[in-house]
Structure 1
Amino acid sequence: ELAFNFKIYNKIVEVFFPEVEFGPNTFIRGSIISDEGDLKLTFRSPNISAFGNHMQNIDVKIDNKNPLFNTYVSVADVSTVYYDVKDFSLINTTLTDTLFFRTEFKGGSLYNDSYNLNFYHTFNENNNSVIGLKRSDVSFKGNTWVLNKDGNQQNKVILSRNLDSVTIDEIVMNNDNREQIRLRGKLADSTYKDLQLQFKIVSLDKIAPAIDSLNLSGEVNGNLNILQKDNVYLPSCNLEVADFAVNDLELGKLSVGIVGNKDLSDFVVSSQIVENGREKLNVIGNVINKGEIPEANLIASFDKFALEPFSPLGEGVITNIRGSLNGTVQVQGDIRNPDIEGRLALDEAGIAIPYLNVDYDFNRNADVRLTGQTFRFNNITLTDISEKTRAKMNGTIKHKFWQDWSLDLDLATLDDRFLILDTEFEEEVLYYGSGFVNGTGKIFGPTRALTITFDGATGAGTELKIPISDVASVGDYSFINFIERDQIESVDVQRTLRDYEGLELEFDLVVTPDAEVEIIVDPKTGSSLKGTGEGILLIEINTNGKFNMFGDFVVVTGEYRYRFGGIIDKTFQVKPGGSIVWEQDPLAAQLNMEAVYSLNANPAPLLDNNYVNRIPTDVVVNLTDELERPTIDFNIEFPGTSSVFISELEYKLQDPTVEERNAFFLLAQGTFVNEETGITQQAVTGNLIQTASGLLNSVLSSGNDALDFGVSYEQGYLDPTGANDFREDRIGVTVSTKISDRVLINGRFGVPVGGVSETVVAGDVEVQVLLNEEGTLRAKIFNRENEINQFLGDQQGYTQGLGLSYEVDFNSFKELMNKIFAKRDAERRKRKKDSLDISQRSVMGKDSLIQFLPKKSRPPKR
């Protein structure tokens, strides 16, 4: 008996095998009993590296007298340049003169393939080695194939005694769908090969290699043959793929025919895709195999070849790639990255950009020129499918080895506007709305990190909405916060942007009054600020949460809808000239604007008298500081009211607390209050009535300047003086119209309702007549209610009048003088010039029988 135990050290192994390395604690131990022919051996190593291959946790046991197994091999992981394997195990035993093996392992880049193989080794009557397959199964790409399904003895490989020839009787793979792959053939040293690979209704997706963004499918039938005699090769391929589809979109029947020359240096290729008798793709030519990399010399013709299957190449940034391809190109050079020359036409083509929710159609027969690895687009007209706005596109799309795609496209808008944004509100969205632009832009960069820039002005219909989604109510804040032990929590957590690959947007825009910007101040209550204006904005956005804004926005028109606790729901009109300034964070913009809510309210509760009529009242809100947490101040103004009345009211409101309280109650229930008044049922019903009136007015409005018609309902109220128990409800009608371009009429009329016996009709009417082209000189005729009579005499009266106004815009007194007197000097010089022209023409007239004089400059008769 011989027992042994060896530790294997790398220093010794390197001397004999420099490319082999064993891990520490590698050993081999065992025993040999020669008289009994008994061999026991154990080999273990944590890892082995040999010739670029790596194995981990190797365990080998050999025991030729063990009745259960003779050899057991286990390897945790095997990494090779060709294929990766893990959880490898092999066990064998001997019965009479045959070795039986069973092995199990997983393989592939993600170890999704599994193998359960049963085979045997024996010798035939000619003393040749026979390796036969018993029933086994192999799973790869999610499909299970059964080898030697019938368990016969035909599935075997025979090796000659000298190992100079190999004969494959038959190896058959089947699956449950009657698909079959059959291999037969013979190899004799290096001079003879005859291999036949047959496919029968095999699904293409089960055998085709994985290609990024492309999923191939269809039923493969046909043969692949390789025949070699001495140095003469006769390879051939004749395959048909029925119902050939790319990314689940069927293209037709694919036929592939390949014939090689005797030294395999040149292959003739003929391939077609046919659908309903139409040849949609035809590729014919040669593939030359003389160097390390095969080269192509092919002609490809397209006829209504569909582009939809290749939409995933846009990698999610560009989707819905559609249309058909027509034309012919020549393909030459490195078959992996060939040069393509030719001209193609796109018909009914288009693309979509899902992040912006826009989809564009190309013009019919759009021209595409191919050079090298570049697709050049010439004067392509893009039309958005939603609003039919248009832009012109020029530029290139390039690729490297059909994988790294990059764009360099220029855009120029047509028809004054082009849709670039059309998104709806979603939770946690940074912005949404519709965006139209007028100018030029670029789309460039790799498709996985695309950049879109635009330089121009906003177009009509633009509505950009920015929700402030992290507004917190009073209940969201606490003076005491409980956190876990050893946990550090920051009160203010800012959004951190990660490195991105996706879509990058950069818009440098001149904002025009055609565009509307809306800021959702509080999504919980619905308070919002929106308006039109002018300014310059730089907007930077990407698909991973970046949203920056730089620039100024000056309000021309606007509305501030203020909602509070279900009690207040009022719409303020923003005064022109207010501004919003952005310096990166959209929510940190600086506000500086005023908004006005106008109503008619009775000041009797504030004045403590028996005044019975309502007066025009403005609740003015000043919005300043940061957009996310603005400072809101309220003021009360009385437009069109006499100075005596205003002085009395301002005296009562000089205390800021009193003024803010009255502003709140004017918004809540439309009345002034004193210290004893609180919120009543009128606050709730008043808001419902105003909301209904607003909906009715939006229906009645004509949508233009010719006629605006509105209806309002003013609630009655209790008389605080007790002189009358109740003041009447009033229905109001407002009318604003143009009789012509020079005559404007504004009116307001009110009629008491609700069972009150009084039938007085109260109202104001104003007629304006424009006396010059600019509209700066106006004549006014008016009839309005008299607040003085109502305040002092407790009676309803009216004042009529006629006025003349002239309007001049100026920034300094000097500019005002220049505008007034310079105009007079210009008119005087014009009259002097006209008289000089007349005198000059009159000189000619003294010696002429006929005199030509201007009609208005004719001299008086003598």
Structure 2
Amino acid sequence: MPKLKIPEQGTFVGNFNSNKNTATLNGLIKTIRYDKMVFHDLLIDESTENDYLGVNISLSKVNITDSLFIKNINITNFLKRDSLNFNIKLSDKNAVNQLDLYGLVEFGRDTTAKLKLLPSDIIIEQQKWRLAEQVRIRILENARTQIEGFVLSNGLQKISIDGFISPKPEDKLKILFDQFKLSSLDQLTKSSGIKLGGTLNGEATLNAITSNIGFESDLRADSILLNKTVIGNLKLTADLDNANKLALINLNLLNKGLETINLSGKYHLQNEDNQLDFHVKMNQTEAIILDPLVNDLVSNLGGQISADLDVTGSLDKPQINGNLSLQKTALTINYLKTPYVIEDNLTVKNSIIYIENLQLKDTKKGVGIVNGTVDLNNLSNPNIQVTIDARNLMALNTAFRDNRLYYGTAFASGKFSFAGPTDNMKIDIKARTEDGTVFNIPLNSSSTASTYDFITYVSKDSSKNVKKERSFNGVTLNFDLTIDERTLVKITTDYGQLEGSGTASNLMLNINSSGDFEMRGDYLISNGKFEFTAQNFISKNFQVNQGGTIRWTGDPSNAEINLKAIYEVRTDINDLYRAAGLSNPQGGSQQKLVQAELLLTKSLTHPDIDFNFNFPNDPAIKDELAAYLNDATNRNQQALSLIVRRKFATGTGQNLTKEVGSTAQDAISEFAFNKLNNFISQSNIKNLDLNIRSFNDASASLRLFKNRLVLNGSLYNNQVGNDLFNQNANVFSSNFNNFTKDFEAQYLITKDGKLTAKYSYRALNSTTLNTINDQLGLQYVNGLGLVYQQDFDSFSEFLKNIFTKRRRRNAQPLPPITTPAIKTTSALD
């Protein structure tokens, strides 16, 4: 037996006692292979006494195929005189499927034997089926077997089998289905992504089973569900003419009184090249019925299909000709997870679907024009050659569970192409992103799927990532993207998350069939925020300055960053003066607006980090403290204190317990406020931004008229510190008059933003007028102005633009050119 293999040695131990007429045999074989079947942990326990033989056989698992297996098999046999009792158990009591079968074999004096199946239980898909009565199976002469009384039932469901298994045409075997639920077949169909529903009734008759088999059937399936979609009632009649090797088949599907499918024709058993001769008529058929044929490429089929098709050729290579009509047919491209709707007519010639100017729509009113072919000559692996000219079309809609390399939602205009068979598909997308596109690129190894909603790259550090089967096996994806400022980008690292907008030209994202991912291109950051986090506890938001860059040259984790971000806080600057060994020339305790500038350079995942300080309302402070702040150690220590504690460190050795307690309070408070702000920003209020930094510092921004009018306002308490638990220091307990009010309105007179009108209402913070402020209290100043902005790369370009415009204004208009009229005379005059 060349197909039988035993990779590991087995062990058997036997004992024989002639005086007592006893014998025992015990053995174990770890693995047995027979062809594609694999038997695991075969254990045999045999004992013999006088006229009694007992054998117990067990296996931990039997692999029938790569995906089909049976667990926990136990077979018990007792042979005494002319009778054999047996019990077969499969799987365990907690399994979805289970068998507990009892039987008796009686051996006759001639060559016949009688098999009785005793009342037994079978569990299929957690449904208990009962073999209630004795089933008689007689093994007769001339290779004939008779089955009587086989009835398997589950409630009202019944499957009955009666008749003969033999080579004779007159011996028939009848199989009767009564209220059989199609959902019981899920164990067989789920590997193909098919979930059935409905009930099956009818009868099938087979004859000459062991020679030239023949059959006829009359089956009805009512209220069929295919993947939870109602497709109707089915009636199937079939008759096998074994003499002529011809099967006549007729299938009808009715849904709500309408015949949605009519299939009729012949199947030639002996003609291998032209087995099929069928005509298929479909009328408003539910598209889900095609799911088994296309589920490798598309999913979530919906809508309806009509068709008039002729099917010839063989089962391996059917030839399909005719017409298809797609009626609001919905589908999702598996590799991109993008849902589309199609409504058009198609032509099928020699199993090739020809697509001409088909209109594809997404769920957000984006449109794509499709051209190309789909070759169905290999139904199990169709060949796609399709291009899509997209206008604001959804190009990507994947989630973390779909692909761990990157995922996301993107709207784009450009050209999409799909080329190759479904198991080796190449997808190229060259497009510019449109409004509503959001990218998430997490480069932190410990990120979780629930945090990010869009395009993501997951660190290749295998020690920190859970292994998962690649979902892009055999697929190559190439993105060539142009990104504008309407696209929101989120990049997450171990030290924080960057969220902002910017521009990029020819940003390349590539993933090959082996799952290797590369990014190439420069991303220029216009604005946004950077959320600094530590140990998932400290959370601080920095505002990003315009002009930052991120450059990818291959490995996404090896990108280079050049970024400046600002953290603003109002705090007492006297502590900073004391740390520098200086006295505040303004005197007294005053809250000042301080900007801690975070500088990130070199590696994106392990950047060089530095800090700087700005005092926007009183720049003289930076000059006075220049010597102290020029020291990198001083800058970093004060930045850390300001970021974590919201105030400067004095450097005079304050009580450590108080420092730690203050740090914990402020860290907890701002962590909570940042999470509240993130929640608000993710709501449906798109034109309003709310930023609560502490109990005594909050701001809001309102954008109107397509962002041309922007209103900004803030409240902050200038009289108190940042103590979270100081009952007199927050907005809920302080007098409103104690709060400083800032307001600014900005209107873009021109759409490009070069000419802007601004109005502001702010507290007066001038150093020169500090004494007057102390005498009169807090003073406010109104400001109104026009701002014109013109960008240039050099001073010579600036001068050239000015004088070019002046020459245009001074140039005199040329007099109009008059052309004398030419009189023509007709030859007939």
> So what's the TM-score if we normalise by structure 1?
0.67
**TM-aligned CA distance change 1:738 to 1:80, over 3 Å:** closer
Give the equivalent residue in structure 1 for 2:770. none
The answer to whether residue 264 in structure 2 is matched with residue 269 in structure 1 is no
1:209-252 superposed Cα distances (whole Å, 9 cap, x missing partner): 934333445433333335689x9998532222233333454433
Residue pair 2:700, 2:714 contacting (<8 A) in 1 also: yes
Code of the aligned partner of 2:785: V
1:107-158 superposed Cα distances (whole Å, 9 cap, x missing partner): 89x99766543232337xxx894635353648485677666x4448xx3537
- The 2-side partners of 1:645 and 1:694 are apart by 22
- The 2-side partners of 1:237 and 1:427 are apart by 43
The answer to whether residue 788 in structure 2 is matched with residue 767 in structure 1 is no
**TM-aligned CA distance change 1:405 to 1:145, over 3 Å:** farther
Code of the aligned partner of 2:586: N
**TM-aligned CA distance change 1:410 to 1:189, over 3 Å:** closer
Give the equivalent residue in structure 2 for 1:852. none
Give the equivalent residue in structure 1 for 2:104. 118
Code of the aligned partner of 2:106: Y
- The 1-side partners of 2:405 and 2:546 are apart by 27
Alignment of 1:623-638 (within 5 A): 623-637=600-614
Give the equivalent residue in structure 2 for 1:413. 390
The answer to whether residue 486 in structure 2 is matched with residue 509 in structure 1 is no
Give the equivalent residue in structure 1 for 2:745. 735
**TM-aligned CA distance change 1:209 to 1:598, over 3 Å:** closer
Select 1:68's aligned residue among 39, 49, 52: 52
Residue pair 1:751, 1:759 contacting (<8 A) in 2 also: no
- The 2-side partners of 1:27 and 1:597 are apart by 79
Code of the aligned partner of 1:589: A
Give the equivalent residue in structure 2 for 1:792. none
1:37-65 superposed Cα distances (whole Å, 9 cap, x missing partner): x99999999999999999998999999x9
Residue pair 1:729, 1:752 contacting (<8 A) in 2 also: no
Alignment of 1:553-702 (within 5 A): 553-562=523-532, 569=540, 571-576=542-547, 578-596=548-566, 605=577, 608-610=584-586, 619-637=596-614, 648=624, 650=626, 653-658=629-634, 690=693, 696-699=699-702
Cα RMSD over matched residues?
Answer: 5.9
How many Å apart are 1:426 and its aligned residue?
Answer: 9.6
The answer to whether residue 432 in structure 2 is matched with residue 457 in structure 1 is yes
Residue pair 2:762, 2:782 contacting (<8 A) in 1 also: no
1:145-183 superposed Cα distances (whole Å, 9 cap, x missing partner): 666x4448xx35373xxx448473734233243544444
Residue pair 2:264, 2:279 contacting (<8 A) in 1 also: yes
Residue pair 1:444, 1:451 contacting (<8 A) in 2 also: yes
Count matched residues. Answer: 730
- The 2-side partners of 1:346 and 1:711 are apart by 56
- The 2-side partners of 1:670 and 1:492 are apart by 38
Residue pair 2:168, 2:207 contacting (<8 A) in 1 also: no
Give the equivalent residue in structure 1 for 2:370. 393
**TM-aligned CA distance change 1:282 to 1:630, over 3 Å:** same
Partner SS for 1:210: helix
Give the equivalent residue in structure 1 for 2:116. 133
**TM-aligned CA distance change 1:758 to 1:703, over 3 Å:** farther
- The 1-side partners of 2:257 and 2:55 are apart by 59
Residue pair 1:567, 1:684 contacting (<8 A) in 2 also: no
How many Å apart are 1:677 and its aligned residue?
Answer: 10
The answer to whether residue 776 in structure 2 is matched with residue 758 in structure 1 is yes
Residue pair 1:314, 1:447 contacting (<8 A) in 2 also: no
1:59-88 superposed Cα distances (whole Å, 9 cap, x missing partner): 99999x93435x97979899999x999766
Select 2:411's aligned residue among 429, 436, 460: 436
- The 2-side partners of 1:670 and 1:19 are apart by 76
Code of the aligned partner of 2:107: H
Code of the aligned partner of 2:315: I
Give the equivalent residue in structure 1 for 2:283. 303
Partner SS for 1:175: strand
Q: What runs of 5+ residues in structure 1 fail to find an aligned partner?
A: 1-16, 33-37, 473-489, 719-726, 777-807, 846-862
Q: What runs of 5+ residues in structure 2 fail to find an aligned partner?
A: 448-459, 674-691, 722-736, 766-772, 822-829
Give the equivalent residue in structure 1 for 2:492. 520
> So what's the TM-score if we normalise by structure 2?
0.69
Code of the aligned partner of 2:388: L
1:420-450 superposed Cα distances (whole Å, 9 cap, x missing partner): 3457899997766642222112345665676
Residue pair 1:168, 1:183 contacting (<8 A) in 2 also: no
How many Å apart are 1:370 and its aligned residue?
Answer: 3.4
Give the equivalent residue in structure 1 for 2:138. 157
**TM-aligned CA distance change 1:195 to 1:380, over 3 Å:** same
- The 1-side partners of 2:780 and 2:423 are apart by 68
Select 1:101's aligned residue among 74, 84, 94: 84
Alignment of 1:312-391 (within 5 A): 318-352=298-332, 358-360=338-340, 362-364=341-343, 366-385=344-363, 387-391=364-368
**TM-aligned CA distance change 1:599 to 1:579, over 3 Å:** same
How many Å apart are 1:580 and its aligned residue?
Answer: 0.7
Residue pair 1:194, 1:227 contacting (<8 A) in 2 also: yes
1:556-587 superposed Cα distances (whole Å, 9 cap, x missing partner): 333345568989845334132x2111233434
How many Å apart are 1:369 and its aligned residue?
Answer: 3.5
- The 2-side partners of 1:186 and 1:681 are apart by 89
Partner SS for 2:108: strand
Identity %: 18
Code of the aligned partner of 1:532: G
- The 1-side partners of 2:64 and 2:467 are apart by 39
Give the equivalent residue in structure 1 for 2:507. 537
The answer to whether residue 159 in structure 2 is matched with residue 172 in structure 1 is no
How many Å apart are 1:25 and its aligned residue?
Answer: 11
Give the equivalent residue in structure 1 for 2:444. 469
How many Å apart are 1:325 and its aligned residue?
Answer: 1.7
The answer to whether residue 92 in structure 2 is matched with residue 92 in structure 1 is no
Partner SS for 2:606: coil
1:243-283 superposed Cα distances (whole Å, 9 cap, x missing partner): 33334544332211122336142222111122332222211
Residue pair 2:156, 2:179 contacting (<8 A) in 1 also: yes
- Of 262-271 and 41-50, more deviation after overlay is shown by 41-50
1:648-685 superposed Cα distances (whole Å, 9 cap, x missing partner): 56466544555556656776788888766988989959
Residue pair 1:233, 1:261 contacting (<8 A) in 2 also: no
**TM-aligned CA distance change 1:376 to 1:121, over 3 Å:** farther
**TM-aligned CA distance change 1:712 to 1:737, over 3 Å:** farther
Partner SS for 2:52: coil
Give the equivalent residue in structure 2 for 1:803. none
How many Å apart are 1:301 and its aligned residue?
Answer: 1.4
**TM-aligned CA distance change 1:115 to 1:336, over 3 Å:** farther
**Larger Rg computed on CA atoms:** 1
Code of the aligned partner of 2:430: D
The answer to whether residue 723 in structure 2 is matched with residue 708 in structure 1 is no
- Of 617-626 and 591-600, more deviation after overlay is shown by 591-600
1:326-376 superposed Cα distances (whole Å, 9 cap, x missing partner): 12211112135422222222223212358866433x133x33443445445
